Amino acid sequence: MKSYNSFEVEQQQVMEAAKLLNLDRPTVDLLLWPQREFKFTLPIRMDNGEVKIFHGYRIQHNFARGPAKGGIRFHPDETVDTIRALAGWMTWKTAVVDLPLGGGKGGIICDPKNMSDRELESLSRSYIRAVAQYVGIDKDIPAPDVYTNPQTMAWMMDEYETLMQRHQPGVLTDKPMQIGGTEGRRDATARGGVITVREACKILGVDPKGRYAIQGFGNAGQRAALLHQELLGGGKLIAACDSRGGVYSEGGLSPKELVTHKLKTGSVVGFPGANPIPRDSVLDLNVEVLYPAALENAINETNASKIKAKIVCELANGPTTPEADVILYNNGVHVIPDILASAGGVTVSYFEMVQDSYSYFWEEEIVHQRLDRKLTKAYHTVQEAVKEKKVHPRLAAMVVGVARVAEACKLRGWV
């Protein structure tokens, strides 16, 4: 399979959208690159007494529509180009769902699986000390991403408030509820994706109570398994996989029992009553809905023609390669692209920022209702672009996002 540089893919998507929008060259050049990039060297004293040097990044892609917004990853294979790409996709994601935010992303090259809680806390606090002057509720608002979580955000928020000597919980989102988090954040990414599937089923005439499969059974995949049945009134989960393998049952898998098994054992493998299958075979099953919720480039030119799902809802970042997009579109597979399908997380993070700003918190039902309205409207806006431009949904979503950001740049007089 062809290897991909994520940043080059993101830039190519911008150029394709810009061509359809007839944007001038200075505007395109501005949108192709992050507005700010920061690199930090972080010395941390480990539990064994040795000092280890870590490298961290914060990349702020665009501020035209508002302060930057995006997660912080702890990952051993993190690269600056991956963070650049993700920062750009956050710009387009926040624009597609029409939030008053820009895009950013951060990361530290580390292996959190081999670090103690004390070491992770030290690393989290060190990162915030390095980035503090560049983040804030009116500058850049980080959140968790791969191998970070609400506890990580709690450490970081505490360090920021200690440095600034004032209470400012909105500087980070997806925090524990006891210190400024919001109802409805834990399942927001999956909920947003299932909402877009519901709308797609209406347009395409697909039975929402049909068969579905999930590739990747982490947080988003587990919650999608449960919410698909809750929000769509039924459905039969016939297969799921994680990094260790997959399971399949023609008669259907119980989402609740499968989630319990995963949390207990660490994998879907060995789920009672299910047949073991290779993890990659989950992608080409005959289902109404497929949720790719794991790795980048999982659907590519080597397997895209085998996809039988009527709807592919991308809960992962970048699970479909550019070549695969064209194959799926030509084969009549309806892809709900990641910058739309997984935008529920950043939408509820924005709600958290709003609630933190005036110290009044909404009931979970209100969060769900407002998320539903945002994602439903965004889905149909992208579909209008699909029809108008006669392009596949990812390019249509990019057209919507790029047009909104470009307009903001021009109104500000930047280009």
Q: Is residue 25 part of a domain?
A: no
**Count of domains forming the chain:** 2
CATH number for position 276:
3.40.50.720
pTM score? 0.95
Spot the catalytic one: 39, 69, 93, 105: 105
What's the distance, CA 405 to chain centroid?
A: 19
Q: Average of pLDDT values for 52-56?
A: 98
* Domain shared by 284 and 239, yes or no: yes
Q: b/e string for 212-250 if b means 16 or more Cβ within 10 A?
A: bbbbbbbebbbbbbbbbbebbeebbbbbbbbeeebbbbe
* Domain shared by 251 and 304, yes or no: yes
Alpha-carbon span 19 to 37, nearest angstrom: 26
Residue 164 in contact with residue 185, Cβ under 8 Å? no
Instruction: Verify whether residue 105 is a known catalytic residue.
Output: yes
* Domain shared by 106 and 202, yes or no: no
- Structure-token match 């399979």, residue found: 1
pLDDT of residue 1: 63
Q: List, for residues 368-388, the tens digit of each pLDDT value.
A: 999 999 999 999 999 999 999
Q: List, for residues 125-141, the tens digit of each pLDDT value.
A: 999 999 999 999 999 99
Q: Is residue 22 part of a domain?
A: no
Q: Measured at the alpha carbon of residue 39, what is the angle toward residues 316 and 81, in degrees to the nearest 5?
A: 40
Q: What is the mean pLDDT of the chain?
A: 96
Q: Cβ atoms within 10 A of the Cβ of 362, count? A: 17
Structure tokens at 367: 């969060």
Final residue of a structural domain among 114, 147, 179 = 179
Q: Is residue 215 part of a domain?
A: yes
* Domain shared by 167 and 277, yes or no: no
Q: List, for residues 154-185, the tens digit of each pLDDT value.
A: 999 999 999 999 999 999 999 999 999 999 99
Residues ≥6 apart with Cβ < 8 Å to 375: 97, 192, 195, 196, 340, 343, 344, 347
Cα dihedral 397, 225, 207, 191 sign: negative
Final residue of a structural domain among 179, 202, 231 = 179
Alpha-carbon span 341 to 319, nearest angstrom: 12
Q: Is residue 7 part of a domain?
A: no
Range of the domain at 146: 34-89+102-179
Alpha-carbon span 142 to 71, nearest angstrom: 5
* pLDDT greater than 80 at residue 58: yes
* Domain shared by 198 and 339, yes or no: yes
* Domain shared by 207 and 313, yes or no: yes
Alpha-carbon span 173 to 351, nearest angstrom: 9
Q: Is residue 415 part of a domain?
A: no
* Domain shared by 160 and 208, yes or no: no
Percent of the chain exceeding pLDDT 70 equals: 100
* Domain shared by 224 and 138, yes or no: no
* Domain shared by 255 and 389, yes or no: yes
Q: Is residue 4 part of a domain?
A: no
Q: Is residue 21 part of a domain?
A: no
For 185-228, the DSSP string reads: -TTHHHHHHHHHHHHHHHHHT--TTSEEEEE--SHHHHHHHHHH
* Domain shared by 148 and 263, yes or no: no
* Domain shared by 197 and 175, yes or no: no
Q: Is residue 245 part of a domain?
A: yes
pLDDT of residue 297: 85
CATH number for position 65:
3.40.50.10860
Question: Which of 110, 125, 107, 114 shows the shortest CA–CA distance to 48?
Answer: 114
* pLDDT greater than 70 at residue 23: yes
Question: Which of 293, 179, 174 shows the shortest CA–CA distance to 227?
Answer: 293
* Domain shared by 252 and 317, yes or no: yes
Q: List, for residues 273-289, the tens digit of each pLDDT value.
A: 999 999 999 999 999 99
* pLDDT greater than 80 at residue 225: yes
Final residue of a structural domain among 152, 179, 206 = 179
pLDDT of residue 317: 85
